[in-house]
Amino acid sequence: MNWHAHLPALLLAVPLLGAFATPVFNMGGKTLRNAWFIVISSSVFLIALALWHQVSVNGIQVYVMGAEQFALSLPSGMKLPVRIILEVDALSAFMALAGSITSLAGAWFSLSFMDRFTGLSRFVSLYLLLTVGMLGMMITGDLFNFFVFLEIASVASYGLVAFWRDRPQAIEASFKYMLLSQLAAMLVLVAIGFLYGRYNVLNMAAIGSLIHMGIVEKVALAFLISALALKCGAFPMYLWIPDAYGEAPASVSCLLVTVSQASLYGLFRVCFSIYGLAMSNKVVAWILIIFGLLSMFIAVSMAVIQHEVKRLMAYHAVSQTGYMLLGVGVGLLALGNSQALAEYGFTALKGGVFHIFNHAMYKGLLFLTAGTLYYMTGTRDLNKMGGLVRKSPWTAFMFVVAAAAIAGLPPMNGFASKLLIYQSSFAVHPLLTVVALVTSILTLASFVKVFQTAFLGPEQDRMADVKKVPATMLVGMGILTVAVLLLTFFPTWALSHLVEPAAKALVDQAGYIAAIMGGAF
Amino acid sequence: MWTKVVTGFGYWDVYSWLIFLAIASFFTLWLRNSGRQDYKEGTYQDEIYFSGNDVPEDGQDISVPADSAYWGFIKVFRPYYDVMLSVHNGLAQDYLGYFVLSIAIITALIVLL
């Protein structure tokens, strides 16, 4: 067996080692700690890239912890899988790639951005633990392990949101996040308990192969949807997000975007890979669609009136999640009807999945530019900014790239994914497209406001002595800018190599189950 | 071949759009350059028109703060925003309440329908 077979385990083991070894490297000084941080983050990205390539070439990768053979999910003649199994299909690899890119960008950005604060050993450890939790949620094939990784990510993020503990607002934001998140986690645990009680298995593919809808399964589904909708930020459960994203250091907010998307991934995995065709009626699809519409419109309308730059961007993060819920909800609506799936369902899924990747890149970049504005000026209040394009033209350029992408302006990548969602949702009902278009217009209006108030206008006296943007922060933003521009100028490549395989994996419940259950399915 | 987004209802091409943008920019700049021929730099023609008001000496006084942006939009939708701001009140117990209510509604919909 070659080392490629161990990539799923390495994807989790490397950042885990990084997190726990950071205090040791910290004893060697700042330079060694920073080098360790970048080496680990870069390694995670390279492993995620290699894993994505491996999945693209060889199909679903299965990794069984502690088995006779690493790829043997049903050893010793067993009929059901019992060990911890990592199952990486095209969707998991796609998500892990997006997560590792934002993690790397955030790591570079943190080097200078966090330099003036103390406790950086703990910061780096928590940041890498957050990365482990996020990646674990994306590649595990086991429901209970999903819960464990969800908790690892949650606990790390509570610490990171409250990292500036001298700010009461940060402590309050972390407390609110913890309160809601723990209730959601308990719901996930109860739902997993229901399913385990019914089927005696925790493996997602095994549950998917056995499931039939009864009251218990329906309650478990409702609990999982509610909890994961809270974690990914759907109306009216997103209310913790503006506080948490707003108060966390910018690099953490950048990573939290993909952590929330890991919950969204969990929601999609539950709906498509576990329940799938067993959900005969369309209630869940309409719940996702309505969540999507409400989230996108209400959050963007709240963003328009914000004057605190990170809170404004946090509302936009919720709004963009609405697009993904809409796209995948429309796809779920068509599931089981091959004609509808071919006509609009698969296009909607592609749009929703493409938007996940796009959103991770441009929203991460927007949080980093917001962090740069804070670093330069010492304030997050847009009322106190102005004329900053003269001080940092590169930051302004990268902000414009990200703002144009999130607003869905052609030819940016955000437009390409939104176009797929607009056209497919129109086939279900024109009102869905109208809400999505209005949301896009309000998004543009909101970011025009940010650009005008922060970057344009006459030079302000109070902005005369702003700090210069360090090179490592520019590198962090540059990584995401390059990603946005590549997705913008090569959308066909992105769709055919990244998005379509991921969307196909989402609808291919039988393939997901067969990778684990094999002949037993 | 790497730039076309096929939606199933049609397609959209990045480079076609960029070419269109370049052509439109060319004609816009051409029209602008062939505008007023009687313009003279350094005369009254350079003065800022500030809605008929006196232009403040200090440029900082004419910048629009973020709070004032879209004031008309916000004024029109004030009743909507009053409701929304009461929902986003920052109270953790209210947020928990909305979550519990959402769980109840979602569970009822999935179990009963």
Asked if residue A281 has pLDDT above 80, the reply is no
What pLDDT is attached to residue A196?
A: 96
Q: Which two tokens stand for residue A124?
A: 């780096």
Residue A142 and residue A192 in contact, taking contact as beta carbons nearer than 8 Å: no
CA of A160 to nearest chain B CA: how many angstroms apart? 19
What's the mean pLDDT in A394-416? 95
Q: In chain A, how many domains are there?
A: 1
CA of A283 to nearest chain B CA: how many angstroms apart? 6
A490 CB neighbours in chain B (<8 A) are 2-3
The whole-angstrom separation of Cα A38 and Cα A27 is: 17
The CA-CA-CA angle for residues A184, A316, A318, to 5°, reads: 20
What pLDDT is attached to residue A20?
A: 97
Residue among A116, A113, A102 nearest A41 (CA) = A102
A267 touches chain B (CB under 8 A): no
The whole-angstrom separation of Cα A191 and Cα A217 is: 8
Question: Does residue A390 lie within any of the structural domains?
Answer: yes
**% pLDDT > 90, chain A:** 88
Nearest to A239 among B70, B73, B95 (CB): B95
Asked if residue A214 has pLDDT above 60, the reply is yes
Question: Does residue A10 lie within any of the structural domains?
Answer: no
Asked if residue A75 has pLDDT above 90, the reply is no
Which residue range(s) make up the domain with A478?
Answer: 281-489
Q: Which amino acid is at A465?
A: D
Which residue range(s) make up the domain with B27?
Answer: 4-112
ipTM summary value:
0.92
Q: In chain B, how many domains are there?
A: 1
Q: Is A215 helix (H, G, I), strand (E, B) or coil?
A: helix
pLDDT tens figures, A30-59: 999 999 999 999 999 999 999 999 999 999
Give the pLDDT band (50/70/90) at residue A186: very high
Contact A302 B63 (CB under 8 A): no
Report pTM.
Answer: 0.94
Rounded to 5 degrees, what are φ and ψ at B13?
-125, 130
**% pLDDT > 70, chain A:** 99
Contact B63 A225 (CB under 8 A): no
The whole-angstrom separation of Cα A55 and Cα A519 is: 21
When mean pLDDT is compared across A103-107, A305-309, B7-11, the lowest value belongs to: B7-11
Contact A223 B103 (CB under 8 A): yes
Count CB-CB contacts under 10 A for residue B87: 14
Asked if residue A400 has pLDDT above 80, the reply is yes
CA of A299 to nearest chain B CA: how many angstroms apart? 10
B49 CA to centre of own chain: 24
The whole-angstrom separation of Cα A401 and Cα A77 is: 55
Q: Which of residues 186-205 of A touch B (CB under 8 A)?
A: 187
What pLDDT is attached to residue A1?
A: 56
